[in-house]
Amino acid sequence: MDLQLNGKVVLISGGGKGIGSGISLSLAREGAIPIILSRSAITEEFKKNIEAITTNYEFIQIDLNETEKIQGIVDDVAKRYGGIYGVVNNAGANDNKALETTSWQEFEKSLHGNLTHYYELVHATVKYLKASKGSILNISSKTALTGQGKTSAYAAAKGAILGLTREWAAALIKDGVRSNAIVVSECWTPLYANWIKTFDDPEARKKVITDKIPFEHRFTTVDEIGDTAVFVLSPKSSHTTGQWIFVDGGYVHLDRALD
């Protein structure tokens, strides 16, 4: 199927690593032009992987916590490429700001790092999305719906992202711009690998987690998120908007008694 993404410019926050890298590579395979906005330089491995597909991509180094820099970058990209088709809001991290030990100041700081740049990237791009009848994709987390027990700020940010997905779908309904979210549960990424190392017995912990993932008892891969992302972003997904799409092996919705 031709997803009709050829030559379309898509911004991806955190697009050089983990889930974002899976999305950037899937977009590149479909002939889209990934514009990666991220904090750390892209790795040689990622560079090799994407350049095996295309040289028509760009990496722009930015700490998205510096929200005021986003509009200028977006305008510059739109000017140089003649427009923008898509935005993928993906950058973020579970920072475990627990209810009993987190001040409201730390809570707000965490929201800034996980939520505010999602808003600003779309706010800065919306006029270009309207011109291209483009598409927004927000990456959220199961914690928005299930909680996790020690991560108030992250759960609040990821819940707000689901709310914004619906709000933007409604706000842009007459403009032909779609807005959807992918909800991730347990996806193997560099962030995840670092987190699992914090347990005394990481392998045992991995088994506890994968045993609870109904479909094939394994982690979701970044390619699986990437491949769903390109379809949802693409014009071929033309009547899907305001949706939360779970790419999680059934983790959030299926019967806990399944083995």
Q: Select which of 57, 85, 154, 251 is catalytic.
A: 154
- Nearest CB to ligand NAP, comparing residues 7 and 149: 149
Phi, then psi, of 148 in degrees rounded to 5: -140, -10
Q: Is 190 in the site for ligand NAP (CB under 6 A)?
A: yes
* 63 binds ligand NAP per the rule CB under 6 A: yes
The stretch near ligand NAP (CB under 6 A) out of 26-34, 51-59, 70-78, 87-95 is 87-95
Rounded to the nearest whole angstrom, what is the least distance from the CB of residue 225 to ligand NAP in the complex?
A: 8
Nearer to ligand NAP, 4 or 116 (CB): 116
d(CA 60, CA 127): 21
Beta bridge partners of 35: 11, 58
Q: Which is nearer to ligand NAP, 132 or 185 (CB)?
A: 185
Q: Of the two residues 97 and 132, which places its CB atom closer to ligand NAP in the complex? A: 97
Of 24, 26, 38, 165, the residue at the interface with ligand NAP (CB under 6 A) is 38
Provide the mask over 104-123, with x wherever binding to ligand NAP is found by CB under 6 A and - wherever it is not: ---------x----------
Of 187, 213, 230, 233, the one binding ligand NAP (CB under 6 A) is: 187
- Cα 29 to Cα 53, 227, 229, 250: the distances in Å are 6, 10, 12, 27
- Residue 154 falls in the annotated catalytic set: yes
Cα–Cα dist 232/139, whole Å: 12
- Which residue do the tokens 């005394």 mark? 200
- For residue 1, count other CB atoms closer than 10 A to its CB: 6
Strand order in the sheet with 135-141: 58-61, 33-38, 9-13, 86-89, 135-141, 178-184, 244-246
Q: What does the block give as tokens for 144?
A: 């928005």
Residues that are catalytic: 154
